[in-house]
Amino acid sequence: MLTKWTAGRFGVGRTIIVGWLVWAIAGLALPLAAGPRWMVVAVLCLGQILGSLADTVANVQQWSLRQVVTPDGLQARVTASHRFLVQGAGAVGALLGGFLAARFGLRPTLWICSMGVFLGLLPVFRSPLWRLHVMPTIPTTDSGQ
């Protein structure tokens, strides 16, 4: 419900980028969660809810945009490549996170990972994606039928 409204109000590109940014901000709940148990649970739940909502809104637009700009014959390859890169990066990140946590402790590692997410977002703010307001249309081919 929110993704169509958000993209219509703020633009497709900004919906994607701001959604990722809100997801990154929500990820700060992990290193910030401290204090009494009820507060830790509340902070983690709020971060999860906010992050999941923002990630879903951004990803609906991001997947839709990728499908529109990718030729039909390349859809499977592009999707497979995307999943390989994202899930492969997740596997490498898990190993790196385990190493850092063993070396520096859990909370400092969570801060390092959170800052890495923000650094990863910097290039998109200068990309053409920020200026994309409307989802491109899929070119139609008239087969004469």
Tell me whether residue 85 is exposed, middle or buried, using C-beta atoms within 10 angstroms of its C-beta: 0 to 12, 13 to 18, 19 or more. exposed
Q: What is the pLDDT of residue 143?
A: 52
Structural domain contains residue 111: yes
- Do residues 18 and 129 touch, judged by C-beta distance below 8 A? no
Structural domain contains residue 140: no
pLDDT band at 28, cuts 50/70/90? very high
pLDDT at 11 over 70: yes
Structural domain contains residue 41: yes
Structural domain contains residue 145: no
Structural domain contains residue 137: no
Q: What percent of the chain has pLDDT over 70?
A: 94
CB atoms within 10 A of CB 54: 22
The predicted model gives 25-39 an average pLDDT of: 95
Which residues contact residue 105 at a Cβ distance below 8 angstroms, ignoring those fewer than 6 apart? none
**Domain range for residue 28?**
2-131
Structural domain contains residue 122: yes
Structural domain contains residue 138: no
The predicted model gives 69-82 an average pLDDT of: 93
Structural domain contains residue 144: no
Query: How many domains, in total, are found in the chain?
Result: 1
